């Protein structure tokens, strides 16, 4: 019975439902590559993002407005201009960039202190798993100190944007969590 009703409500929730997701992370992590792999299913040649890219993805009956913001140091202060009404943040990490994991951790925790993101779910992609020497998801999780996150749904998924691996697995988890929290 419960399943029947949750199935029906799940479908109702999806009708005309629009949500906003932000793709954040340090420069070069793979955010733009992920956005277009999700949208078009192919690897595009990217340039560092100055400003943002935004695309609407239709995913499981839901319209996702996905905002991909530039991650360079000088642009990061502008991330906050995009926080309002954000259902979730996807934080992308270059798992081979060990020297900057601390910077990634600090940016992540600073961002999550913002009131406007207090209800947003968090998905971390431990990206570039196709590269030799990439840290696994549990090592990235440790380096980012994800266990310290309280009162927030979060998950970390190993991904390779150029191979298209891990992306839909991560997005599936995120959409399920958003549905549960918003129903
Ligand atoms: N090997 C490998 N390279 C990747 C992967 N994802 C992205 N890249 C490469 O990493 C570089 C940077 O990717 P972008 O998607 O432009 O990075 P970004 O996070 O959007 O960077 P900014 O726009 O500067 O914030 C590009 O050369 C991508 O092809 C991946 O999973 N594996
Ligand atoms: Mg970019």
Note whether 182 and 148 are within 8 A (CB): no
Nearest atom, ligand 1, residue 33 CA: 15
Q: What is the DSSP string of 98-131?
A: GGGHHHHHHHHHHHHTSGGGTT-EEEEEEE-TTS
- Other Cβ atoms within 10 Å of 82 Cβ, number: 16
Phi, psi angles (nearest 5°) of residue 33: -60, -40
* ipTM greater than 0.95: yes
Find out if CATH 3.40.50.300 is the number for domain 16-182.
Answer: yes
Please compute, for residue 129, the number of CA atoms within 13 A of its CA located in the half-sphere on the CB side.
20
Query: Which of 39, 72, 131, 182 is labelled catalytic?
Result: 72
pLDDT at 3: 45
Answer positive or negative: Cα dihedral of 22, 127, 141, 96. negative
72 included as an active-site residue: yes
What pLDDT does 31 receive? 98
Give yes or no for a contact between 122 and 112, defined as CB atoms under 8 angstroms apart.
yes
State whether residue 39 is helix, strand or coil.
Answer: helix
Q: What confidence score (pLDDT) does residue 182 get? A: 79
Rounded Cα gap, residues 88 and 121, in angstroms: 5
The parts of the chain modelled with pLDDT lower than 70 are 1-16, 183
In the reported structure, the alpha carbon of residue 139 is separated from the centroid of ligand 1 by a whole-number distance in angstroms of 20
């Amino acid at each position: 019975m419960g399943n029947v009703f949750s199935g029906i409500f799940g479908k109702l929730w999806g009708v005309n439902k629009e949500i906003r997701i932000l793709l954040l992370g340090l420069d070069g992590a793979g955010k733009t590559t992920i956005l277009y792999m999700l949208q078009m299913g192919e690897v595009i040649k990217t340039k560092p993002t100055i400003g943002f890219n935004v695309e609407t993805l239709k995913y499981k009956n839901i319209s996702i407005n996905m905002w991909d913001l530039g991650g360079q140091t000088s642009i990061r202060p502008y991330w906050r201009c995009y926080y309002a009404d954000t259902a979730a943040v996807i934080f992308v990490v270059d798992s081979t960039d060990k020297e900057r994991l601390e910077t990634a951790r600090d940016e992540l925790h600073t961002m999550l202190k913002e009131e406007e993101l207090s209800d947003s779910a968090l998905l971390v992609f431990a990206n570039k798993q196709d590269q030799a020497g990439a840290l696994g998801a549990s090592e990235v999780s440790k380096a980012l100190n994800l266990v310290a996150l309280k009162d927030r749904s979060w998950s970390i998924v190993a991904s390779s944007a150029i191979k298209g691996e891990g992306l839909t697995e991560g997005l599936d988890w995120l959409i399920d969590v958003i549905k549960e929290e918003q129903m």
